[in-house]
Amino acid sequence: MEFKGSILIKLVVLLQCCLTLQLCASQDFDFFYFVQQWPGSYCDTQQSCCYPTTGKPDPDFGIHGLWPNNNDGSYPSNCDSSNPFQQSQVSDLISTMQKEWPTLACPSGNGIQFWSHEWDKHGTCSESTLNQHDYFAAALNLKQKADLLQALTSAGINPDGGSYSLSSIKSAISGSIGSTPFIECNSDSSGNSQLYQVYLCVDTNASGFIDCPVFPHSKCGSNIEFPSF
């Protein structure tokens, strides 16, 4: 009787472990923010910027990140310190990342520190659906699907330092992508509000755009500048 009881206890413990592992492996976020930034606005601030060691990036929106998020506005971060960024995992993507995901932080860098930060803080929280290579590949693929500069210039919104209505910028992107973006602004060196980052929401497989369940907390003026780069 005592022997059977010990077996039963072991089975219960084993079942609890299996359930725990299953829960840990389950999806723990509701959607992604896919964030692109305009380099002209990043650089046209009092803080300024530094071009990467590979040279000045193209005058195009660059990827900032692919960030797991929850429907209530909260988000997970730094989810797995045992799985740091490894350049060898994305060696076939590096040249494309340098073009589409350039660093503008000072001092000048080759992008490794930037990508490492993005993976460690955000990418590790999507391990239930994407491994390290797939995470970066998915972001690059989304960048190809969301050609923001093409969407804006086709609507007559050009990076020429002019001022454009926030509603026209949103409409141009929504008409091209199929979902409403969130626009984040920053201030130039003179304090004028300018187009800085564009947030698009993506499903948990990072395969397609969806309507955003919630938007970040930030405000732009009704008219904002679109600086050159």
> Which two three-digit tokens encode residue 104?
């503008």
Instruction: Report the alpha-carbon distance of residue 225 to residue 194 in Å, rounded.
Output: 4
> Which two three-digit tokens encode residue 220?
């732009």
Taking CA atoms, 176 is separated from 25, 74, 220, in Å, by 35, 28, 21
Question: Which residue type, as a one-letter code, is found at position 40?
Answer: G
Tabulate helix, strand, coil % of the chain (nearest 5).
40, 15, 45
Do 220 and 187 form a contact (C-beta atoms < 8 A)? Answer: no
CA dihedral 52, 56, 61, 64 (to 10 degrees): 0
Q: Is-catalytic flag, 217?
A: no
Q: Is-catalytic flag, 184?
A: no
Q: Does residue 227 have a cis peptide bond before it, meaning omega lies within 30 degrees of 0?
A: no
Instruction: Report the alpha-carbon distance of residue 135 to residue 124 in Å, rounded.
Output: 9
Q: In Å, how far from its chain's centre is CA 195? A: 17
Number of helices and strands (H, E) in the chain? 7, 7
- Name the catalytic one among 118, 127, 184, 225: 118
Q: Is-catalytic flag, 225?
A: no
- Name the catalytic one among 122, 127, 184, 225: 122
Catalytic positions, written as ranges = 64, 118, 122
